[in-house]
C-alpha cells in the first residue's frame, strides 16, 4: 500500500511541534510529508515560522547525536524524503483582528519570550524569509539567533524555503499529484485552506481528506485566563487601532489578550478565523449556498494601517461543483481526553537528558513551561498530577494508523460554524431539535439549520480512538525511540 501523503497546515506551538515530530518519525511506508504550511495562530506568523525552523534544527542535531552514540536514527519519513518544503501563509484572518494565545503558550509559542521581530509591513514570502534571517543575525539573543541563522543558511538543511504563498503551494501539490492522494492536516486557523479553496475550488476538491483539529460539540472549552497582575495597574487602557499581533509586550498586550480569548463555546483554531473554517466546511454540503457564511469579507473594506495587508475578497463558490469535500473533525471532545502526563514525559526523557539528547533537552524545556502554566492557572492541579492535552497530535496519529479498526468516526453530521455571534463566534452549532420543520427545502432563515433535502454541512467526526491509555506512551516511543 502506498504511503499516505500529507500536508501539515500549522501554527507551530507546543502540540503542533509534537504532532510534526510524530509525523516525521513515522515509517515512510505509512506517511510522506509533502509540505508544512505555516500560518499565524497561537502567536504571530514570524514566530510560528521561527518555531518551524527551530524544529528542523533540533531534529538535525538529534540525528547527528544518535549516530554518534550508536542509536537508531529515527525520523525515517523525514530522512527518506528530505528536504521538506516549508511555505508561509497569511499574517491575519480573513475579516477580523488577529487573536493569539501567547498568555498561555508564551510569546514564542513554546513557553518563553520571543525573538523580537519588530513591526513590519506586509511581506511577501521571500521578504519574510529575508527579514527573519536579518533579525536573527542582528539579535541580542545569541542562542536563538544562531539556531535560525544557521538553519536558514545551511545548504544541507532538512527543509527548503518556499518563495510561494502557502495556499498556492497547496494547490500546486494537488494539481501535480493524482486526485484523492493527498490529505491536508489542519492544526491551526484555516485561513490557508479557505484561500486555496477560493482560488481554485475544483483543484482544492482533489484532496483525499481534510483532517481538522478544531471545534467542540459537547465538551466545554479551555478555562479562561487568570487576569495578569499588570492589568490592576492599568485597567482602563483604550484599545489601540492596530492589530494585536503588532503590540509589543506590556499592559496593552495583556489587556487585548484578555479581550481576545476564545469564547466559552469555541476552540481557538475555529475562533481565530471562523469565516475561513465555515467556508471550508461549506464544501462538504450538497448545497454549499445554504451554508455559506453571511459575514463574507467585502471587496471594499475600511481604511487600514499602512503596515497591514488589505483583507481579501473571497467570492462564493460556483454552482455544480464536481464533488463534495471530505472532512474529518477532531474536536476538543475527543482530543482533550488524550493527555501527555508530566510523570510519563519525565520518566521517558530522564535517561536521554543524562545522555545529552538535543531533542530531549528542547522538548523538556518547552513542556516544563507548559506544565508549569497549567499548574499556575488550574486550581487543584499539582506538579505531580499535571498533564497536557496535546490536541493536534491525535490528527497525526489518525493519519499514520488510519487502518486501525478502533477508530470510531461518526459520519455526515450537519455542524455549522457561527461567524458573527458576539459571544458565540467560532461555536459549532448542531440542530438538536427532535421535531423538524416540514419545509426542509427552505434555503434561508431558520430552515437552513434543518439539514433536509441537501441543506447543511456533512462533517465526519472522530468520537473514539485506539486508546487514551496508550496515547502518551505511543507518542514518546515513536518520537524518541525505545
Domain residue ranges in the chain: 4-222+262-300+310-341+388-480, 231-259
| Beta strands at 387-389 and 339-341: parallel, antiparallel or unpaired | antiparallel
The predicted structure's pLDDT at residue 374:
83
Q: What are phi and psi of 67, to 5 degrees?
A: -65, -40
409 DSSP β-pair partners = 462
Which letter, b or e, does each residue of 326-357 get, where b requires 16 or more Cβ atoms within 10 Å of its Cβ?
bbbbbbbbbbbebbbbbebbeebbeebeeeeb
The predicted structure's pLDDT at residue 245:
44
Decide: helix, strand or coil at residue 446.
helix
In order, the DSSP letters of 54-102 are: HHHHHHHHHHHHHHHTT-----HHHHHHPSEEEEE--SS-SSS-----H
Query: Which has the closest alpha carbon to 41: 379, 277, 315, 226?
Result: 277
The 10 Å Cβ neighbour count of residue 361 is 15
Q: Say what the pTM is.
A: 0.86
**CB–CB of 305/245 below 8 Å?**
no
All residue ranges of the chain with pLDDT < 70 are: 96-122, 140-142, 144, 220-263, 294-312, 434-454, 482
Edge-to-edge strands, sheet with 31-38: 159-165, 84-88, 31-38, 4-10, 182-186, 209-213, 327-330, 459-464, 408-413
CATH architecture of the domain with range 4-222+262-300+310-341+388-480? Alpha-Beta Complex (3.90)
Query: Which has the closest alpha carbon to 426: 292, 297, 265?
Result: 265
- Rounded CA-CA distance 206/177 in Å is 9
Decide: helix, strand or coil at residue 210.
strand
- For the chain, what is the largest distance between any 2 Cα atoms, rounded to a whole number of angstroms? 71
The predicted structure's pLDDT at residue 147:
86
**CB–CB of 166/87 below 8 Å?**
yes
The predicted structure's pLDDT at residue 445:
44
Amino acid at each position: 500500500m502506498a504511503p499516505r501523503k500529507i500536508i501539515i497546515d500549522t501554527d507551530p506551538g507546543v502540540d503542533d511541534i509534537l504532532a510534526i515530530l510524530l509525523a516525521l518519525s513515522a515509517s515512510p511506508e505509512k506517511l510522506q510529508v509533502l509540505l508544512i504550511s505555516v500560518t499565524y495562530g497561537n502567536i504571530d506568523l514570524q514566530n510560528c515560522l521561527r518555531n518551524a525552523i527551530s524544529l528542523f534544527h533540533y531534529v538535525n542535531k538529534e540525528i547527528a547525536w544518535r549516530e554518534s552514540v550508536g542509536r537508531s536514527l529515527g525520523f525515517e519519513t523525514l530522512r527518506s524524503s528530505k528536504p521538506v518544503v516549508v511555505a508561509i501563509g497569511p499574517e491575519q484572518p480573513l475579516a477580523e483582528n488577529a487573536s493569539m494565545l501567547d498568555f498561555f503558550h508564551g510569546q514564542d509559542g513554546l513557553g518563553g519570550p520571543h525573538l523580537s521581530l519588530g513591526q513590519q509591513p506586509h511581506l511577501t514570502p521571500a521578504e519574510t524569509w529575508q527579514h527573519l534571517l536579518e533579525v536573527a543575525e542582528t539579535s541580542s539573543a545569541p542562542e536563538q539567533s544562531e539556531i535560525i541563522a544557521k538553519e536558514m543558511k545551511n545548504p544541507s538543511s532538512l527543509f527548503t524555503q518556499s518563495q510561494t504563498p502557502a495556499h498556492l503551494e497547496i494547490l500546486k501539490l494537488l494539481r501535480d499529484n493524482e486526485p484523492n492522494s493527498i490529505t491536508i492536516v489542519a492544526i491551526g486557523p484555516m485561513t490557508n485552506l479557505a484561500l486555496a479553496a477560493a482560488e481554485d475550488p475544483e483543484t482544492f476538491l482533489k484532496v483525499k481528506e481534510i483532517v481538522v483539529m478544531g471545534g467542540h460539540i459537547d465538551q466545554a472549552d479551555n478555562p479562561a485566563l487568570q487576569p495578569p497582575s499588570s492589568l490592576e495597574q492599568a485597567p482602563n487602557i483604550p484599545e489601540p487601532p492596530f492589530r494585536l499581533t503588532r503590540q509589543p509586550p506590556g499592559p496593552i498586550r495583556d489587556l487585548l489578550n484578555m479581550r481576545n480569548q476564545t469564547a466559552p463555546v469555541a476552540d481557538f483554531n475555529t475562533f481565530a478565523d471562523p469565516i475561513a473554517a465555515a467556508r471550508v466546511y461549506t464544501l462538504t454540503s450538497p448545497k454549499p449556498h445554504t451554508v455559506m457564511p453571511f459575514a463574507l469579507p467585502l471587496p471594499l473594506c475600511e481604511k487600514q494601517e499602512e503596515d497591514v495587508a488589505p483583507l481579501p475578497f473571497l467570492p462564493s463558490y460556483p454552482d455544480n461543483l464536481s464533488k463534495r469535500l471530505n472532512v474529518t473533525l477532531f474536536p476538543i471532545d475527543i482530543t482533550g481526553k488524550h493527555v501527555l502526563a508530566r510523570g510519563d514525559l519525565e520518566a521517558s526523557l530522564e535517561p536521554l537528558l543524562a545522555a545529552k539528547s538535543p531533542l530531549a533537552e528542547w522538548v523538556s524545556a518547552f513542556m516544563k513551561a507548559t506544565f508549569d502554566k497549567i499548574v499556575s492557572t488550574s486550581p487543584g492541579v499539582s506538579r505531580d498530577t499535571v498533564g497536557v492535552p496535546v490536541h493536534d497530535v491525535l490528527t497525526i496519529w489518525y493519519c499514520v494508523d488510519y487502518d486501525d479498526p478502533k477508530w470510531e468516526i461518526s459520519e455526515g453530521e450537519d455542524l455549522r460554524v457561527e461567524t458573527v455571534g458576539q459571544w458565540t463566534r467560532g461555536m459549532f452549532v448542531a440542530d438538536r431539535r427532535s421535531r423538524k420543520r416540514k419545509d426542509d427545502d427552505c434555503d434561508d432563515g431558520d430552515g437552513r439549520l434543518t439539514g433536509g433535502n441537501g441543506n447543511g454541512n456533512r462533517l465526519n467526526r472522530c468520537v473514539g480512538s485506539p486508546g487514551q491509555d496508550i496515547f502518551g506512551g505511543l507518542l514518546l516511543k515513536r518520537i524518541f525511540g525505545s
